[in-house]
Amino acid sequence: MTDSTRQTQQPTTDTEASSYQPPVPTEAVRPESFTKRVVRDTFRRWGARIGIAWVGFVFLLAVFAPVLANSMPLLAKTQDRGIHSPMWDWADAIDITLFVALLLMIGLFAIGKRMSTARKFLILFAGIAGALTLGILFKGTPDDLPRYTEYRNALASGEAEWVVDAPIAFSPRDNRTDRDPDEEYRFLSSDSDHWLGTDRNGRDVLSSLIHASRIALGIGFVAVGISLFIGVIIGGLMGYFSGIVDILGMRLVEIFEAIPALFLLLTFVAFYGGNLYVIMVILGLLGWPGFARFTRAEFLKARAQDYVQAGHALGLPLHSILFRHMLPNSLAPILVTAGFGIAGAILG
C-alpha cells in the first residue's frame, strides 16, 4: 500500500474524525490439527460411519449387558429387605468399570476443546484403572453362581411383593436343564421368553450373545492395546536411531515371533485354567512384533522429512519429535494393522 493510498483512508474533516473507528484486528485462525483432519476425512466415508456405529452399538451392549439380560431382577421389593436391586448385589468389578468408562467418555466428550486430547486419554485411563481397582476391592467377583430361582420362587410364594425383570430375564449361565431336570428346556425355539431360543443346556442364546460382546471387546481392545503400546515404542526407537538399536530391536522381534502363541495359550490353560484376563495379556505380549515392524518402517521414512529436521533445529526434546510429530504422520498402516489384530485376538 502506498503513502497516497494511506492518506486517502484517513478522515479529512472534523465530523469524519469524530465518527472514525479504526478497524478491529481479526483473531488469528488456528490451523486444523492432524487428528481433527484425520477424523473429518474418515467420517466422510459411509463405510467408516457404519463401522464406527456398529462398534459403538456393541460397546453399549457390553456396558448395559446386566441391565438387558439378567436372571436377577433390576428392582425387587421383599418382606425382609424392602426395595433393593438384586442386579447391583451381584454386580462385579467389570460391571462397575464399564459403567464408569461410559460416564467418563460422555463427560470428556462434553468438555470438548477445553482440554487436550492427551489429557483426556490420561483421565480416561486413570478413571478406568481406579474403578477396576475399587471394584475388585469392594465388590469382586462372586465365588459361586447366583441363585437364579431365588426371586422367582419368592414372587411365587408371596415373599416378594413385586419385581422388575430385565428385558431378557435370563443370565448367560442360567442353566435351566440342570435346575429343572424334569422339564425340557433344551433347544427351545424362539418364543416370548427366549427370543432366539435355547442351547443344549437350556441357556438363553440371546443372553449369551449380549454378554459375549464383553469378551469380544475385552480381548480385542486390551490385547491389541498392549501390543500397540509396546510395538510403537520399540518400533519407533528402532526406526529413529537405526544402527545398533535397530539391530538389537530386530533380534528381539524375531525372538518373540518364533514363540507359537497358540501352543503357549494351550499350555497355560492346561496348567492354570482358562483365566480370560491372563489370556488377554499373553496375546498382547506376543502380538507386538507386527506393530513394531510397521512403526520401524514408517519412522525410517519419516526421519529424513523436513519437519523432523526442523524439530531438531528448534531444539525440541526427543519424545516430542518421536510421539508428537513423527507418530501422527505414521499412523495409517499402524491403525490398519490394529484393526486386523483385534479380529485375530478374538479368533485366538
How many Cα neighbours within 13 Å face the side chain of 301?
Answer: 10
Q: What is the pTM of this model?
A: 0.72
pLDDT at 5: 47
Whether residue 317 contacts residue 286, with contact meaning beta carbons closer than 8 Å, is answered with no
The three cell numbers locating residue 18: 469524530
Ordered per-residue pLDDT tens for the chain, 348 residues: 454 444 445 555 555 555 656 665 555 556 666 667 777 777 788 888 898 888 889 889 988 999 999 888 889 888 888 888 888 888 887 888 888 888 888 888 888 777 776 677 788 888 887 887 777 677 655 545 567 777 877 887 888 888 888 899 888 888 776 666 666 777 778 877 888 888 888 888 999 999 988 888 888 888 888 999 999 999 989 988 888 989 999 999 999 989 888 888 888 888 877 777 788 888 888 889 989 998 998 888 888 888 888 888 888 888 888 888 888 888 878 888 888 888 888 887
Any bridge partners for residue 160, and if so which? 78
Name the residue with cell 526434546: 317
pLDDT at 292: 92
Whether residue 169 contacts residue 71, with contact meaning beta carbons closer than 8 Å, is answered with yes
Burial class (CB in 10 A: 0-12, 13-18, 19+), 300: middle
Nearest residue to 231 via CA among 292, 300, 298, 287: 292
